[in-house]
Amino acid sequence: MGSGLRSTTAVAVLAVILGIFLFSLSAAAPSWRRRRVRSQAERSNNRLGMTPPMGWNSWNHFQCNINEQVIKETADFVASSRLSSLGYNYINIDDCWAEMNRDSKGNLVANAVTFPSGIKSLADYVHSKGLRIGIYGDAGTKTCSLKMPGSHGYEEQDAKKYAAWGIDYLKYDNCNNNEIGPKERYSKMSKALLASGRKIFYSLCEWGQDDPATWAFKIGNSWRTTGDIKDEWESVVSLADQNNKWAKYARPGGWNDPDMLEVGNGGMTNEEYRSHFSLWALMKAPLLIGCDVRSMSNMTLEILSNTEVIAVNQDELGVQGKKVKSKGGLEVWAGPIKGKKVVVLLWNRGVFQASITAHWSDIGLQSSTIVKVRDLWKHYTIPNVKGELTAAVDSHACKMYVLTPQKQ
Ligand code: GLA
Distance from residue 273's CA to the centre of ligand 1 (Å):
21
- Which of 94, 95, 168, 173 is labelled catalytic? 173
Residue of 33 and 195 predicted with greater confidence: 195
Sheet containing strand 222-224, strands side by side: 255-257, 222-224, 201-204, 169-173, 132-138, 90-92, 54-57, 287-289
Domain assignment present for residue 392? The answer is yes
Q: What is the pLDDT of residue 34?
A: 52
Sequence letter at residue 155: E
For 365-406, write each residue's pLDDT tens digit: 999 999 999 999 999 999 999 999 999 999 999 999 999 999
- Which of 211, 228, 241, 362 is labelled catalytic? 228
Determine the 3-state secondary structure of 384 from DSSP: strand
What is the β-pairing status of strands 398-405 and 370-375? antiparallel
Q: What is the pLDDT of residue 180?
A: 84
Neighbour-count burial of 103, counting CB atoms closer than 10 A to its CB (0-12 exposed, 13-18 middle, 19+ buried): exposed
Q: What is the pLDDT of residue 2?
A: 39
Q: Which of 293, 314, 335 is the last residue of a domain?
A: 314
* 408 pLDDT tier (thresholds 50, 70, 90): low
Q: Which of 287, 314, 341 is the last residue of a domain?
A: 314
Distance from residue 144's CA to the centre of ligand 1 (Å):
6
Q: Among this protein's residues, is 173 annotated catalytic?
A: yes
How confident is the model over 270-281, as a mean pLDDT? 99
Mutate to test the pocket of ligand 1, among 58, 144, 146, 209 (most ligand atoms within 8 A of CB): 144
Is a pLDDT exceeding 90 seen at residue 21? no
* 31 pLDDT tier (thresholds 50, 70, 90): low
Residues with a CB atom less than 6 Å from ligand 1: 59, 94-95, 143-145, 173, 205, 228
How confident is the model over 83-96, as a mean pLDDT? 98
Residues 276 and 139 in one domain: yes
Residues 197 and 94 in one domain: yes
Is a pLDDT exceeding 60 seen at residue 285? yes
Range(s) of the domain holding residue 337:
322-405
Distance CA 267, CA 309 (A): 22
Residues 363 and 394 in one domain: yes
- Sorted by sequence, the CB contacts under 8 Å of residue 118 that are 6+ apart come out as 110
- Tally of structural domains, the chain: 2
Distance from residue 59's CA to the centre of ligand 1 (Å):
7
Q: Which of 314, 343, 363 is the last residue of a domain?
A: 314
Distance CA 86, CA 313 (A): 12
How confident is the model over 133-145, as a mean pLDDT? 98
Residues 279 and 349 in one domain: no
What would the DSSP string read from start to end of 75-116?
A: HHHHHHSHHHHHT--EEE--S--B-SS--TTS---B-TTTST
Distance CA 373, CA 342 (A): 10
Residues 304 and 328 in one domain: no
What is the β-pairing status of strands 54-57 and 287-289? parallel
CATH number where 338 lies:
2.60.40.1180
* Residue whose CA lies nearest to ligand 1 atom number 8: 228
Residues 182 and 223 in one domain: yes
CA distance to 39, 41, 164, per residue, from 44 (Å): 10, 8, 22
pTM, rounded to two decimals: 0.91
Neighbours of 112 (CB within 10 A): 9
Mean pLDDT of the chain: 92
Q: What is the pLDDT of residue 407?
A: 77
Q: What share of the chain is helix, strand, coil (3-state, %, to 5)?
A: 35, 25, 40
How confident is the model over 111-130, as a mean pLDDT? 98
Mutate to test the pocket of ligand 1, among 56, 138, 170, 173 (most ligand atoms within 8 A of CB): 173
Contact (CB, 8 A) for 186 and 224: no
Residues 168 and 286 in one domain: yes
Is a pLDDT exceeding 60 seen at residue 33? no
Distance CA 10, CA 16 (A): 10
CATH number where 136 lies:
3.20.20.70
- The distance of Cα 384 from the centroid of its chain, to the nearest Å, equals 34
* Residue whose CA lies nearest to ligand 1 atom number 6: 95
Contact (CB, 8 A) for 263 and 276: yes
* 15 pLDDT tier (thresholds 50, 70, 90): very low
Distance CA 4, CA 16 (A): 19
Distance from residue 290's CA to the centre of ligand 1 (Å):
13
Residues 167 and 248 in one domain: yes
Q: What is the pLDDT of residue 179?
A: 73
Handedness of CA 78, 83, 84, 87 (dihedral sign): negative
For residue 99, list its beta bridge partners. none
How confident is the model over 337-350, as a mean pLDDT? 98
> What percentage of the chain exceeds 70 in pLDDT?
89
